[in-house]
Amino acid sequence: MFIKNHWYAVELGHRVAHEPVLVRIHGHNDIVLWRSRNRAVNAQSDTCAHRGCSLASGAVVDNCLECPYHGWRYAPNGICVKIPANAKGIPIPKNARIHAYPCLERYGFMWVFLGDLPTEQRPPIPRLDGLEPHREARAKGYKPIFGDFNWKANYERVLENALDISHAPFVHSGSFGNPDHPEIQDFELDVTRRDEHVVSVGASVNLEPSPPSGFWRLISRGNYPRVRTTVGFYPPNVSMLIVRLPLGELRLFSAAVPTTEQTTVSKFCMLRTFFTGAWADQDAQRRTRKIFLEDQPIVESLRPQRLPSEPSAELHVKSDAIQLAYRRWRQEQLVKGWGLQTPCQPSPSSCGQQQRGGQL
């Protein structure tokens, strides 16, 4: 199931430069991202209206997206403005166009509105805590790193795992979890709404850290205070983790991009206030990926692979409050009729229209 009519973070902003970038969303119509002369980003259907060629393998020419097959050019609004094979004076057909999606660049992510609501009815883009509302992912005193991580799992399972506080002592006992202290204290949910839409849900707890080793043990000097940790989500697909260490603070923002029903790519940005030199970036990447690698076999083994439609289908306890908040939000969207089933496989009879520039 895919929730439409929301702004999805689908790519890291710095990844979109002078060449078109392909983004696959839940097996529905692929999207191509590209920049105009003024650096504004465009999001359009990846399928050429002529013969269905992938436009992501084309080029940006004269501020238009050019198809590599027959050279048709599409302006940022999706309208075809040039058909090279046409003799001079032959008009371009009115239906020679591709779908253009609303797209914004903010907090270091590319956000694409996937749905059919008019502008005034669309939910707002989330405000990512601690980041400045610019194109770049930046915050004063923080050093960012970026990356991808691929999962053979449904995006909602990936997202919920990032909201799960109580798995840390067991899944992450090799990094930061402490299996000797698995208890989770009571916590309150912090829910933010704008224009009647839920835009963020979070909660904070104090976790017992595992004793550090190696270099980290030397600099800690035997002092292992409880770690104030915040987790949360920004609908529809961004999770947040804030870890307040004695050395400083870590903030991890991860967009769970649903490429198909059973595959997901996490586009992440991790920021830190300590060891902010470039010399520490490689270690920061390694530690971030280690967390994902510890999660991966567990998340990919979950059954059923998709979240159950009925809340009672799985057992829940008090420490599951953040995941339950996500499920309540999800159920609200389904009640609105904003759920999309997995599309069928392409065929001329049943799926041809969907695969040729269809709108999410």
The CATH H-level (homologous superfamily) assignment of domain 143-335 is Naphthalene 1,2-dioxygenase Alpha Subunit; Chain A, domain 1 (3.90.380.10)
Q: pTM, whole model, 2 decimals?
A: 0.91
CATH node for 7-121: 2.102.10.10
Domain ranges of the chain: 7-121, 143-335
Contacts of 215 (CB under 8 A, 6+ apart): none
Residue 46 near residue 34 (C-beta atoms within 8 A):
no
Which of 25-39, 231-245, 254-268, 322-336 bottoms out in mean pLDDT, i.e. has the lowest?
A: 25-39
pLDDT exceeding 90 applies to what percent of the chain? 73
Highest mean pLDDT among 19-28, 166-175, 289-298: 289-298
Residue 110 near residue 238 (C-beta atoms within 8 A):
no
Identify the pLDDT of residue 309. Answer: 81
Per-residue pLDDT reduced to its tens digit, 38-76 = 999 999 999 999 999 999 999 999 999 999 999 999 999
pLDDT tier, 220 (very low <50, low <70, confident <90, very high otherwise): low
Per-residue pLDDT reduced to its tens digit, 113-150 = 999 999 999 999 999 988 887 788 888 899 999 999 99
The residue ranges of DSSP E strands in the chain, in sequence order, are 2-3, 6-12, 21-23, 31-35, 41-45, 59-61, 64-66, 73-74, 80-82, 100-101, 103-106, 109-114, 143-151, 190-194, 197-207, 227-234, 238-244, 249-260, 263-272, 339-340
The mean pLDDT of the chain is 89
